[in-house]
Amino acid sequence: LPLIAVCGRPNVGKSTLFNRLTGSRRSIVGDEPGITRDRIYGEIEWQNVKARLVDTGGVVPDDEALIPSEIFRQAQVALQEADAIVMVVDGRTELASPDMELARLLMKGGKPTFLAVNKMDSESMYAAAENFRRLGFKNVLPISAEHGSGIGDLLDEVFAVLPEPAEGLE
Ligand code: GDP
> Per-residue pLDDT tens for 6-59?
988 888 998 899 989 998 545 555 444 444 446 788 999 999 999 999 887 644
Residues 89, 98, 109, 136: is their CA dihedral positive or negative?
positive
Domains contained in the chain, CATH given: 3-161 (3.40.50.300)
Ligand 1 center–CA 12 separation, angstroms:
6
Whether 70 contacts 99, CB under 8 Å: no
Ligand 1 closest atom vs CA 118:
23
Ligand 1 closest atom vs CA 121:
24
**How confident is the model at residue 59, as a pLDDT?**
40
Buried b (16+ CB within 10 A) or exposed e, 108-142: eeebbbbbbbbbbbeeeeeeebeebeebebeebbb
> Per-residue pLDDT tens for 88-97?
999 999 998 8
> Per-residue pLDDT tens for 132-158?
999 999 999 999 999 999 999 999 999
> Given a cut of 80, is residue 73 above it in pLDDT?
no
Whether 12 contacts 88, CB under 8 Å: yes
Ligand 1 center–CA 27 separation, angstroms:
20
Q: Which amino acid is at 146?
A: E
Return the percentage of the chain with pLDDT > 90, whole number.
Answer: 47
Ligand 1 center–CA 11 separation, angstroms:
6
Please name the residues in contact with 15: beta carbons below 8 A apart, sequence gap of 6 or more: 40, 55, 58
Mean pLDDT of 101-115: 89
Cα dihedral 61→11→149→22 (10° resolution): 0
